[in-house]
Amino acid sequence: MTYNETGTIRKNWRGRVRVVLVYPNTYFVGMSNLGFQTVYHLFNQTDDVVCERAFMPGKSGQGKIRTAESGRLLSDADIIAFSLSYENDYPNILTILEKAGIPRLSCNRGDNHPLVMAGGVACFLNPEPIARFIDCFLLGEAEALLPSFFACLYDRGIELNRRRNAGFSDKSGFLNHLAQNVPGAYVPEFYRTTYHKDGTIRSFDQLCDAPAQIERVFLKDLSHIPTCSKLLTPDTTFQEMFLIEVGRGCPRGCRFCSAGYIYRPPRFRPVSLLEDCIKQGASLTDRIGLVGASVSDLPGLTDLCTRTCREDIRLSFSSLRADALTPELLSVLKQSRVKTATIAPDAGSERLRRVINKGITEEDILSAAELLVSNGIPNLKLYFMIGLPTETPEDVEAITDLCKRIKSGFLECARAKKRIGEITVSLSSFVPKPFTPFQWVPMDNVQSLKKKIKQIRTGLKGVANVRVHADMPRQAQIQALFSRGDRKVSEILSLADDNRGNWAKTLKAASVNTDFYLYREREPDEFLPWNIINHGVRTSFLEREYKRAKQGKTSPPCPMESCNACGVC
């Protein structure tokens, strides 16, 4: 299959370590992911490595999966590396292994099979639900992990020979060496989980000299390392947009958001480096996207906007806080002919926004909406979550009320501009994520979530120019199961694969009690499946934040220096 893209890396396979980097979703989804592109480039930076990409075929895709670059089969590789960002892609891992003729369980593979590894944010949140399918995980940021992984591979795993293909002679010995010597490497076969009678985890025991906990590995300093698009294609969400990562993590500490905790401390790149990246991007395309969990917190963003606000550059931002709209930012948005701006109030009421530590007021939200529209941006997208901890019927009603108030101010400004656009209200079901202050809370059930969506739809029905878009609570439930589960949950993935993705049949047949993972409040001292990883954030800090949430108290943002509040620095 030929893809319409630039930036493809083609290398000879002979005498090199052969890696197939797999995104377990379609080309369109995978290529929209900057992390996936970055890892592709990092693998290929080593001369002794050839890395090609593979994706899930679209709905009509039949037969074997082949690499994008040379059309080779996955089974020809030494290493199959899965890049995992979303738990809902987990079932595709099994489909891909099956199509490649590789046993799904790690324990059934031998030296003649490729090493199956995985990395990406979903893994360093909680690798346990897929632990039985993966030979080794690399937990943390690829730039910091790959050099020591390859050093170990050359030392103990693979003998490079220019005349013949490389390969593993003692995979198990290599994994042993990896687990003991490479920080961030997690080899599930060297750990055994034991359970209490009630199904909670009693212990997580090492079966060899592997570390008791796996440290998340990250780059302490991003100031000299740019992360930008390596391939450009019209076939992504961003359509030939050159993406630039401004930083990692977010200082705000919203209590529902894992990115605000697992990427601590928040790190931003200097404006001078980002300006160079923008110049590089502008030589390839006129569309530049600044991405990150917290773009509007970038120190010097106003300066960067002023320096790069040019006719031939259309700059856009992946996230902007409602309280961060400066005249310079608005002028860039205007110049870039941005048609739709996104505001994320996340909750409808002031009370619930305090519970989640959102840190913005209704006034901020209303004034941001009016500013955007009066600066010529015709459409607004509003993000809300339903099913948040402590949510009441009044909080759900408050979403409808807030949308109506935003609409009324929006309309006034739009009339003045003689251009009336549209407001899209996007509703997502809250999933309690590992390593957040809400990691102990139960998830709302599907019926209740559906009722809330219906209530909001009814409340906004007939309001002109307002559209409601809601995710499917059943999908959110599956996401929650795979983000909160332990190793037993892998049975569900195997069953789903056997049942060709029929979830109703799978959940009915599974011996695993899904309610146990979804709807149970965890005790503060319970050993959670993801406790195998150490992200550096103290559990006592998360516990304190959870208590403050229940009291409706907010906490200040992470100061990003000179503090020891959460334990990371």
Contact between 359 and ligand SF4 (CB under 6 A)?
Answer: no
Nearer Cβ to ligand SF4, position 249 or 434? 249
Contact between 219 and ligand SF4 (CB under 6 A)?
Answer: no
Contact between 556 and ligand SF4 (CB under 6 A)?
Answer: no
Q: How far is the CB of 559 from ligand SF4 (least distance, A)?
A: 5
Binding segment toward ligand SF4, per CB under 6 A, in 144-152, 302-310, 320-328, 553-561 = 553-561
Nearer Cβ to ligand SF4, position 194 or 564? 564
Measuring CA to CA, which residue among 153, 144, 147, 148 is closest to residue 217? 144
Instruction: Give the residue carrying structure tokens 């739009």.
Output: 414
Contact between 259 and ligand SF4 (CB under 6 A)?
Answer: no
Q: Tell me if 327 sits within 8 A of 375, measured CB to CB.
A: no
Contact between 560 and ligand SF4 (CB under 6 A)?
Answer: yes
SS3 assignment for 101-116: CCCCCHHHCCCCCCEE
Residue 82 sits at φ, ψ, to 5 deg, of -90, 135
Measuring CA to CA, which residue among 43, 11, 275 is closest to residue 145? 43
Instruction: Give the residue carrying structure tokens 């609570």.
Output: 473
SS3 assignment for 440-501: CCCCCCHHHHHHHHHHHHHHHCCCCCEEEEECCHHHHHHHHHHHHCCHHHHHHHHHHHHCCC
Contact between 437 and ligand SF4 (CB under 6 A)?
Answer: no
Nearer Cβ to ligand SF4, position 101 or 556? 556
Contact between 568 and ligand SF4 (CB under 6 A)?
Answer: yes
Contact between 566 and ligand SF4 (CB under 6 A)?
Answer: yes
Nearer Cβ to ligand SF4, position 149 or 218? 218
Query: Where do the DSSP E strands lie in 13-157?
Result: 17-23, 49-55, 79-83, 115-119, 136-138
Contact between 314 and ligand SF4 (CB under 6 A)?
Answer: no
Contact between 54 and ligand SF4 (CB under 6 A)?
Answer: no
Binding segment toward ligand SF4, per CB under 6 A, in 356-364, 439-447, 466-474, 558-566 = 558-566
- The continuous run of DSSP H or E covering 518 comes out as helix 514-518
Nearer Cβ to ligand SF4, position 37 or 439? 439
Q: How far is the CB of 258 from ligand SF4 (least distance, A)?
A: 14
Binding segment toward ligand SF4, per CB under 6 A, in 166-174, 189-197, 442-450, 552-560 = 552-560
Contact between 177 and ligand SF4 (CB under 6 A)?
Answer: no
- The continuous run of DSSP H or E covering 315 comes out as strand 314-317
Binding segment toward ligand SF4, per CB under 6 A, in 125-133, 275-283, 327-335, 559-567 = 559-567
Question: Cis bond leading into 437, ω under 30°?
Answer: no
For the segment 180-209, give every residue that binds ligand SF4 (CB under 6 A): none
Alpha-carbon Rg for the chain in angstroms: 24
Contact between 542 and ligand SF4 (CB under 6 A)?
Answer: no
The only residue of 265, 348, 437, 529 in contact with ligand SF4, by rule CB under 6 A: 265
Contact between 565 and ligand SF4 (CB under 6 A)?
Answer: yes
Contact between 257 and ligand SF4 (CB under 6 A)?
Answer: no
Enumerate the β-bridge partners of residue 221: none
Measuring CA to CA, which residue among 122, 120, 154 is closest to residue 138? 120
Contact between 273 and ligand SF4 (CB under 6 A)?
Answer: no
User: Which two structure tokens, joined as six digits, stand for 189?
Assistant: 């076969």
CB neighbour burial string for 233-269, b if at least 16 within 10 angstroms, e if fewer: beebebebbbbbbbbbbbbbbbbbbbbbbbbbbbbbb
* List of residues contacting ligand SF4 (CB under 6 A): 264-265, 558-561, 563-566, 568-569
